[in-house]
Amino acid sequence: MSAPVQVICVVGARPNFMKMAPILEALKAYPRLRPTLVHTGQHYDREMSEAFFRELDLPRADLDLNVGSGTHGRQTGKILEEFERILLERPPELVVVAGDVNSTLACALASVKLHVPVAHVEAGLRSRNRLMAEEINRVLTDRISDYLFTTSRSAGDNLRSEGIEEGRIHFVGNVMIDTLRRLEPLARERSRVLEELSLAPGSYAVLTLHRPELVDSRETFLPVLGALEKVAAALKLVCPLHPRTRRRLEEFGLLERLEKAPGMVLLGPRGYLDFLRLTSAARLVLTDSGGIQEETTVLGVPCLTLRPETERPVTVAEGTNTVVGLDPGRIVSESLRVLEGKGKAGRVPELWDGRAAERIAAVLARALRA
């Protein structure tokens, strides 16, 4: 029997968990492929991290680098150093990274410097905003990866326009949607979050905010919060607060104001099943998250993106997403349009069918002759 083919799969922050879970499951169809799961520990909330592993049915990480928080340079450097050590101790045939967090770039960079091929899941997404750390991570990871797995045809077009060879690009669909489709029935069955909060389906909106460009500046954040207070007065607004957002609200002296705002419901971070239940039953979602733009498109829930641009234009062109920027007037007016029944209906994009991970595994198995 041929020797096993060692593959390292990397997770570091919550979005990675949703992307890697279906890939690890799909790799089981190829017994010669032996995945090792490495958790960099970039997402350092241990309790939340454990909850996501449990709910997504992810296997326990074989190795945990425990890098924790820090500046971009410090965190990226620490991951690079620790992951290089892993590669030297147990050299794999391939490393799989996903998304656009610091772990993605650091592990890809450590790999290629040691001549280990890299597969990048969710390649080719572009916001054209180089002020976003994620955009830098995306562009650089794509340049050095050997296998580029895209979620949309426009992502492939981005890669080609940057000179990426056709043979490296594989349009496979969206692994985030694999996870959503698998767990949506379970969220309806098991999550009691609507009952806990006394919410009826369609009677509320969901809000998530976490990006530094918005929450780290009081001058930027304050007028947006004023608009959100007006939205909450018209439709109950449920907000699971990201730790970063809560810290900034406290620093800016705005947390108590928001807690007292009519219609505003502030929560702590929620696990995947509770959050999926909340968003799937919402009338409207307001967010600065890329992944949530994709999930709402598949769920058929109108989404307003509180950013000047999106790296996921397919959610605007085909889905339920509208980019409203940070203009308070537009945030309110577009929210009211949804309440008047004028929100986008959209359709599910091509290959967002719950089988993206199977396509990825098939490509890797062929490439590795497994």
Going from the C-alpha of 341 to that of each of 200, 284, 307, 348, the distances in angstroms are 18, 11, 23, 20
CB 149 within 8 A of CB 363: yes
Q: Residue holding tokens 């620093």?
A: 251
Which entry of 43, 115, 120, 210 is annotated as an active-site residue?
210
The Cα 292–Cα 311 span in angstroms is 12
Report the C-alpha gap between 227 and 290 in whole angstroms.
21
**CA 247 to CA 303: how far, in whole Å?**
25
72 part of the active site: no
CA distance 286 to 206: 6
CB 117 within 8 A of CB 154: no
Read off the tokens for 330: 């537009």
Closest CA to 208 of 316, 108, 307: 307
User: Residue 185's CB: how many other CB atoms inside 10 A?
Assistant: 9
E runs forming strands in the chain: 5-11, 33-39, 63-64, 94-98, 118-123, 147-150, 169-171, 204-208, 236-240, 264-267, 284-287, 303-305, 321-323
Over the range 21-42, which residues count as b (16 or more CB within 10 Å of their CB) and which as e? Answer: bbbbbbbeebeebbbbbbbbbb
Q: How many CB atoms lie within 10 A of CB 328?
A: 17
Catalytic residue ranges? 210
